[in-house]
Amino acid sequence: MAIYERLADLEREGGSVAIATIIRVQGSVPRHEGSKMLIFPEGSIEGTIGGGELEIRVIEEALRVLKDGKPRILKYTFQDPEKGDVGVCGGEMEVFVEALRPNSTLVVVGGGHVGKAVAHLASWLGFRVVVSDDRPDFATPQAMPDADEYITCEIGQLPQRMTINEETYLVLTTRGMSVDVDGLPELLDTPAAFIGVIGSRRRWETTAKELIDRGVTEEKIARAISPIGLEINAETPEEIAVSILAQIIMLRRGGTGETMAHTPQAGRRAKER
């Protein structure tokens, strides 16, 4: 029961952990079906599925699962270590490894009309939403009711005010280029999964030039995406939010952004008659 309580705590805290569960055994093995072990991102564990070489290998695979999010079924034999087996007990075991990872965080930087629409749609899509603005009145529940957290600070201070990791998506819907230029260098140094900047191509060209003049490398600047969103001729804040979130979903899921329209074979044959 302690493991399930630990998992509940981690989910509330937004922590990540891999769960290894023995799902099948045959013959003599150290532990049996249902035995569980938790593996944390730094490699520490809670619980056991048998110790020794078996756990060393499961931990290695679990850390990979934490990175790519793809569950695995691992098969091990306890026969002959010289042939690569994990022990000499004589049996076989299958271990299912899955990841418990927090909801991805979407950070809206800039609490204007577009930022408000992005926060609303991102919340509906299941993101944990953080709203940040250097103007106190723009980062409040009254101004942005769909956020989970509000941070009032300069853009460049964000990495000190919150955790930005590989599951963080940064959407800059700021009020001007000068705000972006001042804050982007610090954001480009984070491991954020996505850094998008609203604005025209001309605005981004000017922003990039300013960043280069301040010593930011082209390699780092290339991490940012601007103009942000997919080209759907969006005009209203709500339509722009759809464009932005569509691009983020595409990148998360490995999509192409192409239309999925398909002409059925039956329709083509009917036209040929």
User: How does pLDDT run across 5-58, given as a tens digit for each residue?
Assistant: 888 888 777 778 999 999 999 998 899 999 999 999 999 999 999 988 899 999
Whether residue 183 sits in one domain with residue 53: no
Q: Give Rg (Cα) of the chain.
A: 24
pLDDT for res 167: 86
Closest Cα partner for 172 from 190, 153, 195? 195
Structural domain harbouring 204: 105-253
> What pLDDT sits at residue 88?
85
189 part of a folded domain: yes
| Spans in the chain with pLDDT lower than 50 | none
Does residue 136 have a cis bond before it (omega within 30 degrees)?
no
Report d(CA 261, CA 267) in Å as an integer. Answer: 13
In 140-168, which positions are buried (b, 16+ CB within 10 angstroms) versus exposed (e)? beebbebbeebbbbebeebeeebebeebb
Burial of 258 (0-12, 13-18, 19+ CB in 10 A): exposed
The reply to whether 90 and 116 lie within a common domain is no
Question: Looking at the structure, do residues 50 and 121 belong to the same domain, yes or no?
Answer: no
Same domain, residue pair 208 and 89: no
Query: Do residues 119 and 233 both lie within one domain?
Result: yes
88 and 109 both lie in a single domain? no
Tokens linked to 84: 């690569």
pLDDT score for 23: 97
- pLDDT, position 270: 60
Q: Please check whether residue 263 lies inside any domain of the structure.
A: no
CATH number at residue 139: 3.40.50.720
For residue 67, tell me if it sits in a domain. yes
Q: Is residue 140 part of a domain?
A: yes
5 domain-assigned: no
Strand order in the sheet with 45-47: 45-47, 36-39, 17-26, 92-100, 72-77
Residue 1, in any domain of the structure: no
220 lies in some domain: yes
**65: nearest Cα among 99, 41, 19:** 99
> Helix, strand, or coil here: 12?
helix
**Does a structural domain hold residue 213?**
yes
The number of folded domains in the chain is 2
Long-range contacts at 77-84 (CB < 8 A, ≥ 24 apart): 78/27, 78/28, 78/29, 81/53
* Nearest alpha carbon to residue 210 among 175, 187, 186, 182: 182
Q: H/E element holding 151? A: strand 149-152
Single-letter amino acid code for the residue at 107: V
Spatial separation of the C-alpha atoms in residues 4 and 72, rounded to whole Å? 20
Do 76 and 122 fall into the same domain?
no
